[in-house]
């Protein structure tokens, strides 16, 4: 009997490193790069899968889930980063990115 590998709807293949599972190989590679930057002291406080509630007029309309959040030591700014491909820039994602900008004055860095 053949084994089937389940791909997500965008064709990404899950990948694992450091005991963590990522939605894609691209996201896994970016995590490795960020860990190296953290060890080198370029960034600090790396967080994965941080949730941001999107609340409008006291009503929670959605939640944005950031792939990575970290502090950039040189610019002294918090960076919210999302690993994206053309296929994953869905209308829902674009709306959530606009809400993040409007509600929190946060521009998402897409890698």
Run means of pLDDT, 10 residues per run, the chain, 111 residues: 50 84 92 97 98 97 97 97 88 96 96 92
State residue 14's pLDDT score.
Answer: 84
Q: Where are the domains of the chain?
A: 42-110
CB 47 within 8 A of CB 68: yes
Contact 29, 37 (CB under 8 A): no
pLDDT at 4: 39
What is the per-residue pLDDT for 87? 75
Q: How confident is the model at residue 88, as a pLDDT?
A: 80
């Amino acid at each position: 009997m053949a084994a089937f590998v389940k791909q997500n709807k965008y064709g990404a293949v899950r990948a694992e490193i450091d005991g963590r599972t990522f939605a894609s190989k691209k996201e896994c590679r970016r995590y490795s790069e960020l860990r190296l930057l953290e060890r080198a002291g370029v960034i600090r406080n790396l967080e994965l899968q941080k949730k941001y509630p999107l609340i409008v007029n006291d009503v929670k309309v959605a939640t944005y889930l950031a792939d990575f959040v970290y502090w950039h030591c040189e610019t002294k700014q918090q960076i919210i980063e999302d690993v994206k491909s053309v296929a994953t820039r869905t209308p829902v994602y674009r709306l959530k990115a606009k809400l993040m900008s409007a509600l929190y004055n946060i521009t998402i860095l897409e890698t």
